[in-house]
Copies of this chain bind each other. A is one copy, B any other.
Amino acid sequence: MTASLPVDAVLAEVDRSFPDSVARLCDLLRIPSVSTKPDHAPEVRRAAEWLRGELAGLGFEATVRDTEGHPMVVAHHPGPGAGAEVPHLLYYGHYDVQPPEPLELWDSPPFEPTIVDARHGPRVVARGAVDDKGQVMTFLEAFRAWHAVHGTLPVRVSVLLEGEEETGSPSLVPFLKANAAELKADVCIITDTNSWDIETPAITTRLRGLLYVEVTLHGPSHDLHSGLFGGAVLNPINALTRILGRIHDDAGRVRFPGFYDGVEEPAAEELAMWRDLGFDEAAFLAGVGLTAPAGEAGRSLPERLWSRPTCDINGIIGGYTGEGAKTVIAAQATAKFSCRLVPGQDPDRVLAGIRTFLEEHTPPDGRWEIRTFGKSPAFRVPPDSPHLRAALAGLGDVFAKPAVLLGSGGSIPVAGYVRDELGYDTILVGFGLDDDRIHSPNEKFELKCLHNGIRAHAAMLARFAAPAAG
């Protein structure tokens, strides 16, 4: 890409108008769009209307669409013109935010965005600063710069912004199903993830899936006195700990039958890239008060977190749990546990393996009750995706350091929904940092990250328009 290409003028416009971009982000941050609080519903809608207005001003056909819950913002831009052969991109983000509580831990009011100077220069502190209002503004301001310089965008663009991400996106799949034709595109761009560090952009190409179950082991017909019955009858807590305690073998591997069937090992180049990241295991562990890694022996932490399936018990309860002593044998005991899933694993087969494992270990007279609370496969962007290559090229245009490809141990369900309901891939590219305190008091977004994010989206738009130039 040379200085004569149209993107250079756009990047110059991004730099010139950056103070206005910050001001607009602050306007959005002042709207307390807390989706989980019913009494904040009008504020959630006000944020949607604000975004609709901004998109309409940039040449989008923009609408606010009602759902059973909070509304969706949907907007379409035709790109350079009906005759042009350009890709069609769907940008996804969310405009709702987590509750700000506990308020007393904030240094400034959560919905009065405050610019504070810190080691990376100025940052904006507010609820939603990065998650996800600040990230949404990175692509919206990139659209604005293209629009200001060229009067149009270099590709067809649709935008889908939801107001329920922080409450589990209950309306999203129904909305995708009901509007699948309208939301058809070539690739989805989600900006809700982090850079590797402030100088190194990242694309997240792997997300683990999730299978969440609750199991209750029933034994005696009622609670018993542990003296009068102990040593002669089934104790469901004894039995449940014995069974759950056998989920992992001594090497940290999960023993559910067939659990590792189909699990794909990362490619050698993926492993090499993760090795080169310089992931600071000691610092990662120290951040949560630990010194030693746990889990599967013989694997680096990035491997364990991004490419290996797990089983963690998330909750357990049974018998007497109050203060002091009660000499009881409980009639039942319950645990919730979840498996993080990786590419190649079928959640239904994993669930079948769990059932088999539990049945095989059922003590005499024991009876299981099993409930499922979530079941989604892992997500992975094919390394040879042309969209991934275009995005990497765009990042390369504006960052001095090359982008890295990461995994994430968590789940971003929308990527799976887009694949399943709309039938195309997703590129996860975001500009947050690990210390941005999302969901916590004093959430912040570095203005340098905001600026780089806008520049990166502006450059990626050019690269998506002409992937061959990448």
A residues with CB within 8 A of B = 36, 98-99, 105, 167-168, 208, 210, 212, 214, 219-235, 237-238, 240-248, 284-285, 288-296, 301, 304-305, 308-330, 333-336, 338, 340, 363-365, 373-374, 408-411, 434, 437-441
Whether B408 contacts A227 by the Cβ 8 Å rule is yes
Whether A241 contacts B245 by the Cβ 8 Å rule is yes
Q: Within the complex, which residue of B238, B317, B438 is in contact with A317, where a contact is CB–CB below 8 Å?
A: B317
* CB neighbours of A293 from chain B (8 A): 232-233
Whether A440 contacts B167 by the Cβ 8 Å rule is no
Whether A328 contacts B313 by the Cβ 8 Å rule is no
Give the distance in Å from the alpha carbon of A318 to the alpha carbon of B315 in the complex. Answer: 5
Q: Within the complex, which residue of B222, B234, B241, B245 is in contact with A437, where a contact is CB–CB below 8 Å?
A: B222
Q: Ordered nearest first, which 6 A-B pairs have the shortest CB separation?
A: A245-B245, A227-B410, A221-B289, A231-B310, A315-B319, A292-B364
Chain B residue nearest in CB terms to A334: B321
Indicate whether A285 sits within 8 Å of B233 (C-beta atoms), given known contacts A330-B315, A374-B325: yes
Chain B residue nearest in CB terms to A219: B290
Give the distance in Å from the alpha carbon of A329 to the alpha carbon of B295 in the complex. Answer: 13
Give the distance in Å from the alpha carbon of A222 to the alpha carbon of B315 in the complex. Answer: 15
* CB neighbours of A285 from chain B (8 A): 233
Whether A328 contacts B316 by the Cβ 8 Å rule is no
Q: Within the complex, which residue of B238, B325, B438 is in contact with A313, where a contact is CB–CB below 8 Å?
A: B238
* CB neighbours of A229 from chain B (8 A): 288, 305, 409
The winner among A168, A208, A237 for most chain B CB atoms within 10 A is: A237
Chain B residue nearest in CB terms to A227: B410
Q: Within the complex, which residue of B225, B315, B409, B410 is in contact with A328, where a contact is CB–CB below 8 Å?
A: B315
Give the distance in Å from the alpha carbon of A294 to the alpha carbon of B239 in the complex. Answer: 10
Shortest distance between the CB of A232 and any CB in chain B (Å): 5
Shortest distance between the CB of A108 and any CB in chain B (Å): 16
Give the distance in Å from the alpha carbon of A284 to the alpha carbon of B314 in the complex. Answer: 36
Q: Within the complex, which residue of B225, B291, B319, B324 is in contact with A36, where a contact is CB–CB below 8 Å?
A: B324
Q: Within the complex, which residue of B233, B243, B321 is in contact with A290, where a contact is CB–CB below 8 Å?
A: B233
Whether B238 contacts A36 by the Cβ 8 Å rule is no
Shortest distance between the CB of A223 and any CB in chain B (Å): 5
Shortest distance between the CB of A68 and any CB in chain B (Å): 15
Give the distance in Å from the alpha carbon of A311 to the alpha carbon of B223 in the complex. Answer: 16
Shortest distance between the CB of A84 and any CB in chain B (Å): 39
Give the distance in Å from the alpha carbon of A290 to the alpha carbon of B329 in the complex. Answer: 13
Chain B residue nearest in CB terms to A411: B227
Whether A232 contacts B291 by the Cβ 8 Å rule is no
Whether B238 contacts A248 by the Cβ 8 Å rule is yes
* CB neighbours of A208 from chain B (8 A): 227
Shortest distance between the CB of A444 and any CB in chain B (Å): 13
Given contacts A167-B325, A242-B246, A325-B374, 9 further A-B contacts (CB under 8 A): A36-B323, A224-B440, A231-B295, A232-B304, A292-B364, A314-B329, A316-B319, A321-B334, A321-B336
Q: Within the complex, which residue of B234, B292, B327, B334 is in contact with A439, where a contact is CB–CB below 8 Å?
A: B327
* CB neighbours of A232 from chain B (8 A): 284, 293-295, 301, 304-305, 409
Chain B residue nearest in CB terms to A239: B294
Whether A222 contacts B410 by the Cβ 8 Å rule is no
Whether B313 contacts A410 by the Cβ 8 Å rule is no
Shortest distance between the CB of A277 and any CB in chain B (Å): 15
| Contacts A/B (CB < 8 Å), 19 sampled | A36-B324, A210-B327, A212-B325, A222-B289, A222-B437, A223-B439, A223-B440, A223-B441, A224-B288, A224-B439, A225-B440, A228-B305, A230-B340, A231-B308, A231-B309, A233-B293, A238-B248, A292-B365, A316-B317
